[in-house]
Amino acid sequence: MSFFEWDKSLDVSVEEMNEQHRTLIGFINAVFEKDSAGAPKAEIVKSIEDLLTFVTQHFQNEEHYMASIHFPGLEAHKKLHGNLAVDMIKLAGNFKNGPAVRISSEFSMFLKLWLSTHIRGIDTKYGDYACSLQK
């Protein structure tokens, strides 16, 4: 069973980004699956690092896309990406370097919430802007 499924509420109206969000959900699910299956810590750390690599790429891709359509909210969006990346790197580091062998509820909450909140509340804005250009 997957922890997250992509559904229409996460649709940002830009298919390329929807596709990347589905991939992102897959990476998050992999972390939860390893964690709940009792995988060795090193494996969970590896899946968190894979997720971080993909997130970093995705943020860059999204920022390039927003620049390409001259989205006026680009700078504010970039700042939010920066904050998310800092928080995530911190939580990942705490897990990797700490004694825990399962991810904390704080980290798990972060992964569950930031994704849906950021995609629904923030990413949809560049999608709405892109749609308005086509009218």
Q: Which is nearer to Fe ion, 39 or 74 (by Cβ)? A: 74
Q: Which of residues 51-110 bind Fe ion (CB under 5 A)?
A: 62
Query: Shortest Cβ distance from residue 112 to Fe ion (Å)?
Result: 15
Q: Does 123 bind Fe ion (CB under 5 A)?
A: yes
User: What length does the chain have?
Assistant: 135
H/E segment holding residue 127? helix 124-133
Q: Compute the distance between CA of residue 10 and CA of residue 34 in angstroms, rounded to an integer.
A: 24
Q: Which is nearer to Fe ion, 35 or 62 (by Cβ)? A: 62
Q: Does 27 bind Fe ion (CB under 5 A)?
A: no
What number of other Cβ atoms are within 10 A of residue 45's Cβ? 18
Residue 67, token pair as written in the block: 């620049």
Q: Which is nearer to Fe ion, 35 or 123 (by Cβ)? A: 123
Residue 104, token pair as written in the block: 């904390």
Q: Does 35 bind Fe ion (CB under 5 A)?
A: no
Write out the residues near Fe ion by the rule CB under 5 A.
62, 123
